[in-house]
Chains A and B, each alone.
Chain A
Amino acid sequence: MGMGCTAYYYAPNTLQTPFLAQRHDTYVSVGGVSGPGFSGFEFHGSYAFSRRWAAMVNHLQVRGGTSSEQWGKGRLTEVALGPYFTLGDVNSHALFLGWGSGEVFHRYSARAKSSLSFHRYFGQYGVCIEREPFRLGTAIRLNYLQYRKGQIDYRLGEPDISKIERIEEESPILFPETGFSLSVGSRPAYFSVFMNYMDYRQAEELGLAVYTMGISMSLQLDYLWRSKVGSLPNRSVE
């Protein structure tokens, strides 16, 4: 997604690990993300709609380029559903299954461009450990990346035409990703830094970015609501 001197046709979005402990826990976060030659923003929202189940939505949007004739942009929007549980008061675990769709667009010269769309199915297991004022999150995600449609101008030249042809050949692609985040703050607000890494041997040949990193601010919305109605959040499982 996006390009510096190199065009990328996928980049890992953040493996979000919200600290879900009880029904109605609600998080939103927004942050900046960057990878090799591109940057952008991310949005995350998660909501525990039952004692055991939560939903999550993520959106990534990035852009990069060296000139008005050589640039790229990409986006990925996904939703996920899954169970969560806590171990004690300080560990939150969640297993999300999700689906997302995205697209990348690149301009290589005044005339040559490409546009690819994809779906990504994933399963993610994440853990968030709290030791106030810190939270440490880590997750592993298994992705099934399926490119759908593409409009490619053959004049875009090498090496990108070969990369796109390899994507066409290899798709759908199965690969794992890992992510780490460190947050500091106090309910309801946290400041986080994170790093995401893709493990796929042929990433370079296919033009897939292997890492992203960034910072974000998150807000636990239910905390604000509970404070308002006079009921402080109980971190014990109901």
Chain B
Amino acid sequence: MKSVFYAGLSLLAAVLLLAACKQKPDFEYYSYEPEDYALLSQYLNLPDRPANYSTKLPKHLEAAGLFAREVNRDKAILGRVLFYDKNLSKDKKVSCASCHKQEIAFSDDTPVSRGVFDRVGTRNSIALGSVLSFAAYYGTDLFGPSGIPFFWDNRAGTASEQNLATMANPVEMDMTHADIVKAVSEQPYYRPLFRMAFGDEQVTASRVSEAIANFVNAIGSFRSKFDREAERTIGSDSWSGRERLDFAGFTDAENRGKKIYLDRCASCHSPVQGRPMKMFANNGLDATTTDPGVGGITKKASDMGMFKVPLLRNVALTAPYMHDGRFATLEEVIDHYSTGIKPHPNLSPELKEGGQPRRFNFTPQQKSDLIAFLNTLTDTEILKDKRFSNPFK
């Protein structure tokens, strides 16, 4: 029995020793053949362990009925390279990223952007990082008529339609489908990327478009201070009414600003920063139609001067504001809503009172509080997330 006792003691000692020696595995992940990775490495900084582009929304957003679409990892990786590739423009100087800069939430810092050969665009670059996730509720392919379309005038039903239209736009990238195929086919680094994404090296405009759409659909902004506090306060509970609770981690100014936002802005821009409450609206920038907006697509008089209602995530970073970038600061935006709304014939009902443009008449304190709240919508993680950064050397 003595030997059994000693054996048992040895076993216990061995277990304790092993428990202390927690050597981690040495796993090597690869997705490229060595020769492919050598080729890619000549042009790109791509990790040989591909990033995960799937999105897991926080509980407070899932509680609001939101979900993220599955993104194909290999197509998103290809899409990332295409997004930053200036060869996809007529003068080889413009890429998607030229007007959608990661460091400012994938927006541009000019009222209207400049495209190929320095041609001037017509509308402000929409901040891709201003949404929860393009996959969450955008696109008529998944969500039918209730899916939010793309562009200020909502003329594209899917992210693929949007990026093809942008590449074709003469003032943006000015590329025909044949141009796109030729430009991509000429770059050797696309051969392994297309093989991985699509199973073979054939380049088509629709594959290019699909890959960029997968990448853009993966860009999601949901790690702001607002999101952290909402997660703590609401978690997986239902939102209804709970958004009015003070967030413990907010300052007094931020909580006051949240209340103002919920009372004055959320009926269009969403109380939970999940999905805009209206597809499009007119917010009284002008008394007459200077840009037809959605009306230019639908040809309906009732749609003239209407534009997409954006979410306000990262709004503090995405100046200038409005479809034409006319307001340089958030203060100017708030002043507009405070006392500057014009009586456009299609003015949104939320901005009318007694048939006339509403005057919110914010006090200086209220303006300051509202800006304090809007600053809580900034997600600094998306600005430096390597998965969405420029992969070119």
Residues of A within 8 A of B (CB): 52-53, 82-83, 85, 93, 95, 97, 116, 121, 123, 142, 144, 146-155, 164, 167-168, 171-172, 174
Contact = CB atoms under 8 A, between A and B. Distances in A.
B26 to A, nearest CB: 5
Contacts of A82: 7
A144 B20 CA distance: 11
B36 to A, nearest CB: 11
A171 B24 contact: yes
A97 B11 contact: yes
Given A95-B8, A155-B196, A172-B23, A144 B18 contact: yes
Given A121-B18, A154-B50, A172-B23, A95 B29 contact: no
A154 B4 contact: no
B196 A151 contact: no
Given A52-B3, A83-B4, A123 B14 contact: yes
B27 A168 contact: yes
Ranked 6 nearest A-B pairs via Cβ? A154-B31, A150-B27, A147-B25, A123-B11, A144-B18, A83-B3
Contacts of A154: 29-31, 49-50, 73
Interface in B1-47: 1, 3-4, 7-8, 10-11, 14-15, 18-19, 22-31
A148 B19 CA distance: 15
A144 B7 contact: no
Contacts of B1: 85
B51 to A, nearest CB: 10
B74 interface: yes
A174 B11 contact: no
A167 B24 CA distance: 10
A95 B28 contact: no
Contact of A151 (B7, B15, B28, B49): B28
Contact of B26 (A144, A148, A167): A148
A95 B4 CA distance: 8
A164 B52 CA distance: 14
Nearest to B49: A154
A83 B196 CA distance: 55
A148 B4 contact: no
B10 A97 contact: yes
Nearest to B25: A147
Nearest to A95: B7
Nearest to A152: B29
A229 B24 CA distance: 53
B7 A83 contact: yes
A111 to B, nearest CB: 9
Interface in B183-203: 196
Interface string B54-78: 0000000000000000000110000
Given A83-B7, A95-B4, A155 B28 contact: no
Nearest to A142: B15
B30 A153 contact: yes
Nearest to A82: B7
Contacts of B49: 154
